[in-house]
């Protein structure tokens, strides 16, 4: 269900064929490529990462959107069981006839200064994204107009810190905002036939009602027992709930001592190896719409490992680098 190939084997249609054959993910072996990206995007100390920055700098770098997947710049999302990261996100475009990729946002604020990645690094990110996109499109079908997205996602080493950051984020909201957060948490618990949008909203509204709520919670418990996509092993904590990415693909690499990404295939969760030697490619819903490539359900967990800590560098420990296309 998880295939492997070398970066040199990426050619037009090669990923499309593997996903069409039923693969849930493809591991593209490319240690040299990942090393170059990692060095430029995470080890350049001239760049202040958002998890190292004052909150006001994050705010100045935030380019938000009502759609969580479309927000760019610096941001954080801490919603228990749904989202749990601090991130820096940027989008690259490459107009026909232009020699270089263009980044948005064009720079990041660092106190009284601005920072922008080197043009050669942006072009390298574009080249990797374009090659993956061409491999995802069926052979003979040139990739449609798209942007390459580059995301650096920081997760926490300690499981309790996710809860503390979630509480801090909720505390900044008004009374109705906090009520909405509580409703969302109930809504995300809806399983099986209750999980589609609309029905899950109704479940969230009614789950605490005196009589009907008790009945609904009982029904939902039965559905949870039958829903294998909700299974969580002992010692694991759900950080990013099961979801499809709204992009053509996501290619992941990183340094993740306590974090685990899983794909749902064949009625069970499968651990997805993510390291600094491969790009783990997962198709998203835009690939389904454009090419008929089936999108893949996936999630992110925190795994308790007593006595284990990260590699000693808080800048890069439990960080995921994502190259995608949208």
For the chain, which domains are there?
A: 1-155+230-323 (2.60.120.330), 159-227 (no CATH)
> What mean pLDDT value characterizes the chain?
92
Q: Which residues pair with 191 in a beta bridge?
A: none
* pLDDT at 28 > cutoff 70: yes
DSSP conformational letter for 248: S
CB 10 within 8 A of CB 135: yes
The Cα–Cα gap between 3 and 15 comes to 10
- Burial class, 288, CB count within 10 angstroms (exposed 0-12 / middle 13-18 / buried 19+): middle
User: What does the alpha-carbon distance between residue 135 and residue 193 come to, in Å, rounded to a whole number?
Assistant: 36
Confidence at residue 308, expressed as pLDDT on a 0 to 100 scale: 60
pTM: 0.92
pLDDT at 91: 98
Does residue 309 register a pLDDT over 70? no
Cis amide bond preceding 105, omega within 30: yes
Q: What is the pLDDT of residue 144?
A: 79
Which neighbouring-strand residues pair with 102?
93
% of the chain beyond a pLDDT of 70: 98
Phi first, then psi, for residue 99 (nearest 5°) are -90, -25
Q: What is the mean pLDDT of residues 234-251?
A: 95
Measuring CA to CA, which residue among 151, 146, 124, 156 is closest to residue 250?
151
- Please state, in angstroms and rounded to a whole number, the distance separating the CA atoms of residues 124 and 316: 20
């Amino acid at each position: 269900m998880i295939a492997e190939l070398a970066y040199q084997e990426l050619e037009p249609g090669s990923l499309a064929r593997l996903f069409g054959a039923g693969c849930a993910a493809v591991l593209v072996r490319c240690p040299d490529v990942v090393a170059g990206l990692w060095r430029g995007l995470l080890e350049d100390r001239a760049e202040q990462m958002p998890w190292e920055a004052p909150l006001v700098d994050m705010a100045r770098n935030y380019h938000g959107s009502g759609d969580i997947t479309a927000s760019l710049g610096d941001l954080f999302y801490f919603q228990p069981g749904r989202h749990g990261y601090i991130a820096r996100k940027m989008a690259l475009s490459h107009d026909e006839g232009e020699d270089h990729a263009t980044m948005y946002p064009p720079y990041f604020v660092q106190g009284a200064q601005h920072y922008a990645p080197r043009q050669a690094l942006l072009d390298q990110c574009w080249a990797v994204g374009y090659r993956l996109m061409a491999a995802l499109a069926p052979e003979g079908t040139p990739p449609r107009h798209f942007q390459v997205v580059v995301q650096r996602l920081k997760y926490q080493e300690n499981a309790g810190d996710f809860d503390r950051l979630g509480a801090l984020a909720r505390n900044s909201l008004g009374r109705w905002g906090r009520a909405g957060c509580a409703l969302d948490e109930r809504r995300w618990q809806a399983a099986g036939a209750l999980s589609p949008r609309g029905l899950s909203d109704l479940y969230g509204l009614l789950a605490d009602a005196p009589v009907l709520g008790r009945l609904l919670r009982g029904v939902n418990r039965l559905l949870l027992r039958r829903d294998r996509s909700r299974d969580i092993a002992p010692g694991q904590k759900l950080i990013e709930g099961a979801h499809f990415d709204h992009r053509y693909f996501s290619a992941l690499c990183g340094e993740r001592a306590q974090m685990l990404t899983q794909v749902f295939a064949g009625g069970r969760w499968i651990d997805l190896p993510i390291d600094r030697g491969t790009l783990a490619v997962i198709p998203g819903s835009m690939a389904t719409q454009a090419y008929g490539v089936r999108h893949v359900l996936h999630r992110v967990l925190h795994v308790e490992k007593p006595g284990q800590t990260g590699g000693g560098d808080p800048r890069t420990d439990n960080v995921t680098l994502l190259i995608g296309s949208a």
